[in-house]
Structure 1
Amino acid sequence: MIVTEPVVVIGAGPVGLAAAAHLAERGVEFRVLESGPSVAAAIDEWRHVKLFSPWRYDIDDAARRLLEQGEWTEPDLDALPTGGDLIDEYLAPLAKTLGDKVQYGAEVVAVTRVGYDRIRTAGRESAPFLVRLADGEEMIASAVIDAAGTWRRPNVLGASGIPARGEAEVADAISAALPDVLGRDRERFAGRRTAVVGAGHSAATTLLELGELAEHEPGTEVIWVVRGTDQARTYGGGEADELPARGALGARLKKLVQSGRVQLVSSFRTESIGRTADGRVALTAGDQQVVVDTVVNSTGFRPDHAMVGELRLDLDPILGSTRALAPLIDPNKHSCGTVPPHGVDELTHPEPGYYAVGAKSYGRAPTFLLATGYEQARSVVAALAGDWEAARDVQLNLPETGVCSSNLAYGDSADEAAGGCCGPAPVSIEAPVTRGLATGISGGLLTVVEAEQSGCCN
């Protein structure tokens, strides 16, 4: 395509900035719009959390090449960064390199075609995109790469996909995923009884921190509430995991449960939430009830397509991804490791020039990996630059990392097992899957970050 207006990238998280780096490398004019006050604002909310993949898997290739042109010092590739490290040592320097191409406090509320609603057809493809911000500012774009993530739209606690009865009324007692249990949020949990709802690695991270807190704060009690019956998905591959930190995460949680320091309540499908007479919170599922002081919602996230409601999107009715991508990522059939490589062709909508990448592209499927997001960004940018050979040479190699099964294997809810950017989804592979010229076993596992990204987590 001939680019006459800038490409607008929504979200300055890992995948959004990777797209920006590829655009810069190809000489395509662009702007990055970040709703937060600084780069990767969503990740900043869980900057205390340590990723379980080392730096070598967390840096996009084009971003590295761009950073190496300046005075950037590459971190120790074998070290495990926290979310804060990811920002301070990689994303912030990258954003600085991109300069005024990155605009903060720029919340996108609508994307449409200039002069066209969703119904009008004639001449539609030649009309540029109109991007409107919350403050009323508008800009014209030749294409839109939507890397807004899903962090701002968590799943509900209700087991049927809608809020549990009374959930809204007790919102003040429900914490978002990955609270800083041992730091800024300590007072909320110390000496209190907490229920962590969810079966993914975000839940595991929080449970481990609560277990540590309980060792130092008398009266701290920890309840783990899950819908499924078998926690093998969360415990993971242990020593078989090629990412030792992730294997250790599951092993430590399993030990906590077996010791009784974390009380496991399984087969619990929350129907209603309310206050008890003494002001506590009661989760109810049939005849079962869990009464606590506070709840942590670690049930995953879902995309918000409201801002692109006037575009022509072909969304899968189940997952909310593109219809072409859905069968490749369906958690009822695929694990993280069996999702095949994919790029611009699978991400294309009937609206030419609009692409959702990163966690948002997966809709409600919990099997997203940061490495996948980087490859999506590379492929889409190559297509926008007119290099279709590179765009369709899609490559993705994943190392074996222990256990990563579909939700059917253990009967868990796919949403519940969702990882979160950094509250990482289980990542492993039963056999390497390659396409194009990719061969062998290598690279990248950061689960992203839902948001722009949920950030991001590996």
Structure 2
Amino acid sequence: MSETTAELPVVVIGAGPAGLAAAAHLLDRDITPLVLEAGPHAGAAVREWSHVRLFSRWGEVVDPAAEKLLAPTGWTKPAEDTYPTGGDWAERYLQPLADVLGERVRFGARVTGVSRTGRDRIVDADRDTQPFTVHFEHTNGREERIFARAVIDASGTWSTPSPAGASGLAALGEKAAADRIAYRVPDLKDPAVRARYAGKRTAVIGSGASAFTALAYLADLAKTGDGAGTKALWILRRGISGSTFGGGDADQLPARGALGLAAKAAVDAGYADAATGFRTDAIERDADGRLVLVGEDGRRLDPVDEVIVLTGLRPDLTFLDELRLGLDERLQAPVALAPLIDPNQHSCGTVYPHGVNELSHPEKGVYLVGMKSYGRAPTFLAMTGYEQVRSIAAHLAGDQEAAERVELTLPETGVCGGAGLFDEPAAAEETGGGCCATPATLTIGAPASSGGC
């Protein structure tokens, strides 16, 4: 890196939890950050699920360097043993942090491309000595570019939910039925949203924390006067097993374990039927305009009024196309990180803390952090992202010893199978693990047989 390049800022893409924590750690290392955020506020994605409560406590979702930056302003940290909603997290922590960072955060700035200055991805000559060029677009359409010594992409995966189709592509008819399909946990406190699901039959596709939350919400709605007749049809690509509902009381994050228990209680009470081993191939409309899900095996489920698709998220890599990224071909996560988080390989235990070594790419100076670093894997926790950016900031400051030092202990899941460990409500459909049962179609009203681990 030339002396001139070293004086450039580190561009951070995204003013969410990981992005703002990255800026705080960079400042703590006397490195200038510049955060580019497409939305109008800090935590724009988090605000879209403001009604959902995290299963991590306040003490686990505030980054230490960020807290250090906030302390002189008179900011008061919420009680550590309480659980924030997404709205709480954004308003009481992320926005104050962005305010402290001030002009180092630019809102309404959507990144459209990142490359090496004067070098597309083909050119080798002097590549590592060139600064990065970052192109972005303002909300009024005006284009701008800036130069950077390094780029930390913390843009997340919220904007790119996975479709209902089991192939990873949209199911046939999915786009045509878009008016009846949602890809988020519904906010049933919103009168318009509540009216959409009250008294209706809704298919919930997915098997992680988001699906648990949606099932519990719909069951609660069914117990109210205006929600009488509300029913859920739970679509699982795998079978019911001992791990289906998560770690329960064995989970070291109690609220995470409680999610699965709440979902189990809801379906045991008869508020949901389940179609297991069902891989959605098509979504059709019947003569009454209701939706019929068709499986790859030809099964046609009874009509539903609405569909909620919670099959995970995936990274948007389009604006990084001119960079040389080393990504795992399955998870779209950095190749050194992928084996640690791959649900095809890991069925029990935790994800090891990791940092700059696991997050580096052939393109030196580029890092994907936070949820985006996990690609399509479903096991991300906010505290993992904070450890990632701490390590990267130390590396950029030349403190390799600190960069390689582990300063985080992650809680055990208490469950076999990798799905459903997000702080954000974005858990993926089960893709692997050692616990599964024979696919079937059944009504849940009694304990399901367990598959052993």
Give the TM-score of the pair, scaled to structure 1. Answer: 0.87
1:300 aligns with 2:312: yes
Match of 1:352 among 364, 374, 377: 364
**Residue equivalent to 1:334:** 346
More displaced, 254-263 or 178-187? 178-187
Unaligned runs of 5+ in 1: 408-413, 427-458
Alpha-carbon distance in structure 1 between the residues aligned to 2:288 and 2:273:
22
Alignment of 1:183-332 (within 5 A): 183-184=190-191, 185-216=193-224, 217-285=227-295, 286-332=298-344
AA at the equivalent of 1:20: A
Aligned to 1:450: none
Show the counterpart of 1:406. 417
Over 3 Å counting, the alpha-carbon distance change for 1:390 and 1:335 in structure 2 is farther
Q: Offset of 1:336 from its aligned partner? A: 7.4
Q: 1:169 to 1:424 in 2, by over 3 A?
A: closer
The structure-2 alpha-carbon separation of the partners of 1:182 and 1:262, relative to structure 1 and needing over 3 Å to count, comes to farther
The aligned amino acid for 2:204 is: V
Return the offset for 1:15.
Answer: 0.5
Aligned partner (choices 133, 141, 159) of residue 148 of structure 2:
141
Partner of 1:70: 73
**Could you tell me how far apart the structure 2 residues matched to 1:215 and 1:338 are?**
36
* 2:377 is equivalent to residue 365 of structure 1: yes
Query: TM-score, normalising length from structure 2?
Result: 0.88
Residues 205-225 of structure 1 show CA distances to partners (whole Å, capped at 9, x for unaligned) of: 111111111112123221111
Aligned pair in 2 of structure 1 residues 154, 423: CA closer, same or farther (>3 Å)? closer
Give 1:302 deviation, angstroms. Answer: 0.8
1:280 Cα shift? 1.0
Q: Shift in Å at residue 245 of structure 1? A: 2.1
Give 2:63's aligned residue: 60
Instruction: After superposition, give the CA deviation of every residue in 1:227-246 in whole Å (9 maximum; x if it has no partner).
Output: 11025434222222233222
SS of match in other structure, 2:162: coil
Is the Cα–Cα contact under 8 Å of residues 113 and 124 in structure 1 kept in the other structure?
Answer: yes
How big is each residue's C-alpha offset from its partner over 1:415-447, in whole Å with a ceiling of 9 and x where there is no partner?
xx5747234579xxxxxxxxxxxxxxxxxxxxx
- Call closer, same or farther: CA 1:338–1:418 in 2, change over 3 Å: closer
Q: Give the number of aligned pairs.
A: 417
Q: Deviations over 1:327-371 (max 9, x none)?
A: 121111225743222111111111111100011111111122211
Q: Distance in 2 between matches of 1:354 and 1:423?
A: 25
Provide the secondary structure at the position in 2 that maps to 1:242. coil
CA distance in 2 between partners of 1:325 and 1:59 (Å): 24
3-state DSSP class of the match of 2:425? coil
Residues 353 and 290 from structure 1, CA distance in 2 versus in 1: closer, same or farther, beyond 3 angstroms? farther
Q: Kindly report structure 1 stretches of 4+ aligned residues shifted beyond 6 Å.
A: none
Counterpart for residue 444 of structure 1: none
Q: Which amino acid letter does the alignment assign opposite residue 370 of structure 2?
A: G
Q: Is the 8 A contact 2:378 2:427 kept in 1?
A: no
Residue type at the aligned position of 1:41: A
Q: Which residue of 1 aligns with 2:184?
A: 177
Q: Is the 8 A contact 1:332 1:406 kept in 2?
A: no
Amino acid at match of 2:319: M
Distance 2:413 2:351 in 1: 14
State percent identity of aligned pairs: 53
Q: Residues 334 and 358 (structure 1 numbering): CA distance in 2 closer, same or farther, change over 3 Å?
A: same
Inter-CA distance 420–398: structure 2 relative to 1 (3 Å threshold): closer
Q: Partners in 1 of 2:270 and 2:425 — Cα distance?
A: 26
Q: Which residue of 1 aligns with 2:159?
A: 152
Q: Which residue of 1 aligns with 2:396?
A: 384
Q: Secondary structure at the match of 2:383?
A: helix
Q: Which amino acid in structure 2 is aligned with residue 269 of structure 1?
A: R
Gaps of 5+ in 2: 430-453
CA RMSD of aligned residues (A): 1.8
Q: Which moved more, 1:78-87 or 1:217-226?
A: 217-226
Q: Tell me what 2:434 maps to.
A: none
Aligned residues of 2:382 and 2:423 also touching (Cα < 8 A): no
Three-state SS of the structure 1 residue aligned to 2:301 is strand
The 2-side partners of 1:378 and 1:293 are apart by 46
2:391 match: secondary structure:
helix
Distance 1:10 1:276 in 2: 44
The letter of the residue matching 2:233 is: I
CA distance in 2 between partners of 1:382 and 1:343 (Å): 10
Amino acid at match of 2:272: V
Instruction: Compute the displacement of 1:402 (Å).
Output: 2.4
* Gap change, CA 1:165 and 1:419, over 3 Å in 2: farther
Q: Contact 2:312 / 2:426 at 8 angstroms: preserved in 1? A: no
Q: How far does the alpha carbon of each residue in 1:229-265 deviate from its partner, in whole angstroms, 9 at most, with x for none?
A: 0254342222222332222221121111111112222
Q: d(CA) in 2 for partners of 1:157 and 1:290?
A: 17
* DSSP-derived class of the 2:280 partner: coil
What do residues 159-204 of structure 1 show as CA deviations (whole Å, max 9, x unaligned)?
A: 1112111111112211122221232521211122111110000111
User: 2:127 corresponds to which residue?
Assistant: 124
Q: Distance in 2 between matches of 1:171 and 1:423?
A: 19
How many Å apart are 1:54 and its aligned residue?
A: 1.1
Amino acid at match of 1:330: D
Structure of higher RCO (CA pairs closer than 8 Å, 6+ residues apart): 1
Query: The residue matched to 1:132 in structure 2 has which SS?
Result: strand
2: CA distance, partners of 1:90 / 1:337: 30
